[in-house]
Amino acid sequence: MKYWLGLLLCLGIVLSMQQSVAAEGSLQVQPLQNEASLQKGERKKGFIDITNPRPVDTKVKLSVAGFKQVDTAGNLSFYDSEQLRAGIMLDYEEYTIPANKTLRLFYIVDGTKLPTGDVFAAIFAQTINESTGSAASSVRIGSLLILTNETPGARQAEITKINAPWLQTGADVHGKVTIKNTAPPSSSSGFFPDVTIGLWPFGQTTSIKGPLVFAGNSREAKFALPSNQLGIYKLTASYGESKKTQWMLVVTGVWRWVALALVTILPVTIFGAVYYLRHRRRTRKERRL
Amino acid sequence: MGKWGVKKLVSSILPAIILSLVLGVSVTMAATISSSNYSIDGNLGGSFGGQLSSTNYAMTTIGGEAIVGSGQSGSYIIDQQPTNSVTPTMQLSVQPSGLVAYYPLDETSGTTLADASQYQHDGTLNSPATFDASGKLSGAVAMNGPTDSTGSGAVLVSDHANMPTGATMTVEAWVKQTSWVPNQTMVSQWKYSAPQSGSWAISTGPSNNSLRILLADSASDPGNNYVDTATNSWNTFNTWRHVVVTYDGNLSQANKVKVYIDGVQTGTTVTGTLPSTLYNSTGDLSIGSFPGRGWALRGSVDHVKLFNRTLSPAEVNAEHGAQNAGTPAGLTLGTLISGSTTSSADAIVRTNAADYGLSIQQDHNLQSGANTIPAVSGSIASPQTWSEGTTKGLGFTVFGAPTLDSKWASGASYAAIPSSATTFYSTSGHVNGAIDVINVRLRLDIATTQVSGAYNNTVTYTGTTIP
């Protein structure tokens, strides 16, 4: 009895759900990321382009949120912040973008209202559903604002790992370097560390812009150092006083073709020489007989 | 100013320079570039960092552009997608899963009609077919049946590997026939001229104000196997009507083909023997005709979609409802009778960002007044295997993606949708130009004690770059 009662109740849900329709969405936003510095008390202007690629007018909600990094892959989580909303003022909170048109939305960043130090915020454009339903869907795209307001947060980091193949045979020396932001996580700071990559001896040095690393977090940065070398080399990755090294056999650039030629020609030469010597010895034996 | 600063400056002022040249306005590389119609601050380096004191952002009417509101704010509307190769861009859309071809037919000039699906197999408009500005959703394409005896005057798409060829398919279109004329084709993939290569066609029937859906069982099938809708089921003209045909070759003859008109299934009768799989035609997909046979439509077609799966009645109803309200697609969890119900969606990402992430959140649990349906127990960090009959609540899984995390167990493990945006998919090294499709499936089951009602919530998909 209880089962049939339950089934009937379920049927009641069915009928209601069938009447509700959820709508899809589609949006395009650019740029996806902006970095800037604000002097004390400075206010600056910027814009993002929000495109409605759909054939119908689309109502879009525009909002500001904070973001933080949650893992070593750099994934983000977003949170509401009254202070960020006050310091990043959008021209509109809601706007209906005509079909196949772009809204160039201006905003003002006000340094006097934002927290000092590193500021991480996102401007979101989100489709608004006019209909309601079971799991009605909406899409949202964020344009990230990475700001330094007055004095930047702590810029301390260490190289914790180099991960590169011990045998390098391409057009470059490549690999990954892991860098950790050693500032206390409570400082809410973060930055893009410039990592120096060098080969010793006779190798060049280059600087790569690492990914955004939040305080207390680690990230991997890929590098590729143009190379035309042969021999055993020491790879060094450094940030400030922190460095890690790795020895590797480098056969890059033109040397890989030379090595290939040697590997191919040498056995043929040896085989030929052995054959020649054996043949000559056999011929001499035959003459003696 | 560094090298990149110069590039950004050039990219920001270049469109204005080109615009000015087109208008015949003299341009100088000054801080402010202006004409009688617009004024743009040349100091604007990229999209951020312009001088706050500058009043030179406002744009008055010019071409397809217009100021927004009073113009005091600075924001304005411009034609779609200003070109800016310096800044990364992202487009995110959500569609019912299995979409293999999608022709919104909203173009107004030229002969190319874009395929908005991930596969981008564009179609070609062939005379005497023309653009129809008054489509169901924006524009449409009008065929001119009586003057096209071969069926070449339609939108034609060359056969490709992504056309449905298996045991399941759904074809969806909006059709406006001007008056009853028998044997007029709305959508087809069936080459009738020699060498023949048939597969399927959706046409009006030979009589009785009905529809006929033909399915080929061989390349040279003359059209002996078909499904007819009931007499007078197609009797409203000069108005847009939503037609959906689903095919599932695994079902019985009577149930292989289902026809929906305006979101409602209509009765059918079968003649001949319907095949268990679609015949793999090499002919063109035709919107508005039956190539080689003629049968061109006297009327217009809009918003054509092909899926490689069979949409459920609830999904068809959702598509009709959403499009009738002006939105190109609909998603719903649909019927919940016994056991769990699912709804699959494709999150389609187009971006030139190398690293990006997708987050998901819901505004609240499914809610009807004071009653709620809880979420499943799994989390995004640790999804749990769905156990039919035991798992209750609303959950989601990822069952397809360019780099699918093993924690989803190919779509067998489910997580609750969190209340704050949480990353469920991320990738690095995305190749510019590639379109990523992330297949998401929502699944719901309820306890027998759940109180009935209209349960609602909104699921938001968020896309951002990963800095």
Check pLDDT > 60 for residue B334: no
Residue A167, min C-alpha distance to chain B (Å): 23
Which pLDDT tens digit goes with each residue over A1-54?
A: 444 434 433 433 433 333 222 234 578 888 899 888 899 998 887 888 888 877
Residue A46 with chain B: CB contacts under 8 Å: 47-50
CA angle B177, A20, B93 (to 5 degrees): 75
- Interface residue B451 vs chain A (CB under 8 A): yes
Give per-residue pLDDT as tens, B252-306: 999 999 999 999 999 999 999 999 999 999 999 999 999 988 888 999 999 999 9
Nearest chain B Cα distance for residue A8, angstroms: 9
Residue B17 predicted with pLDDT over 60: no
Question: Contact at 8 Å (CB) between B398 and B440?
Answer: yes
d(C-alpha B421, C-alpha A65), whole Å: 11
B59: number of Cβ within 10 Å: 22
CA distance A255 to chain B (A): 29
Which CATH number is A157-251 given? 2.60.40.10
Percent with pLDDT over 70 in chain A: 88
Quickly count: other Cβ atoms within 10 Å of residue B97's Cβ. 22
Cβ of A32 within 8 Å of Cβ of B353? The answer is yes
* Closest to B359 in 3D by CA, of B92, B82, B158: B92
% of chain B beyond a pLDDT of 70: 78
Which residues in chain B are closer than 8 Å to A19, comparing Cβ atoms?
Answer: 454
Residue B13 in this model has a pLDDT that exceeds 60: no
Pull the structure tokens for residue B370.
């004071």
Which among A56, A70, A140 has the least Cβ separation from residue B460? A140
Conformation bin of residue B209: beta by default, left when phi > 0, alpha when psi is -120 to 50: left
Domains A24-149 and A157-251 agree in fold: yes
Nearest Cα of chain A lies from the Cα of B428 at a distance, in angstroms, of 9
For chain A, what are the domain ranges? Answer: 24-149, 157-251
Of B77, B456, B465, nearest to A103 by CB-CB distance is B77
Architecture of domain A24-149: Sandwich (2.60)
Q: What is the spatial distance between Cα B134 and Cα B173, in angstroms, rounded to a whole number?
A: 15
Q: What is the pTM of this model?
A: 0.73
Mark yes or no for CB contact B84/A31 under 8 Å: yes
Residue holding tokens 């004390």?
A40
- Looking at the predicted structure, is the pLDDT value of residue A61 above 90? yes
Confirm or reject contact between B88 and chain A (CB < 8 A).
yes
DSSP class of residue B386?
Answer: -
- Residue B375 makes CB contacts below 8 A (sequence gap 6+) with B365, B393, B394, B395, B416, B417
Rounded Cα–Cα distance for residues B461 and B443 (Å)? 16
Sign of the torsion angle spanned by Cα atoms A145, A150, A154, A158 = positive
**In the structure encoding, which two tokens stand for residue B34, read together?**
């202006």
Q: Which residue has the tokens 């130009």?
A: B433
Q: Looking at this predicted complex, what is its ipTM?
A: 0.81
Give the span between the Cα atoms of B107 and B286, in whole angstroms.
17
Ranges of H-type helices in B65-213 = none
CA dist., res. A68 & res. A70, Å (int): 6
Q: List the 302-341 stretch of B: residues with Cβ below 8 A of A.
A: 314, 317-318, 321-322, 325-338
Q: Please name the residue of chain B whose CA is at the shortest distance from the CA of residue A42.
A: B52
Quick check: B66 pLDDT over 90? no
Of the candidates A132, A135, A58, the one whose C-alpha atom is nearest the C-alpha of residue A94 is A58
Question: B95-136 pLDDT, tens per residue?
Answer: 778 889 999 898 888 899 988 777 878 999 998 899 998 898
C-alpha B435/C-alpha B351 separation (Å) is: 8
What is the chain B residue with the closest CA to A78? Answer: B421
- pLDDT tens digits along A66-83: 999 999 999 999 999 999
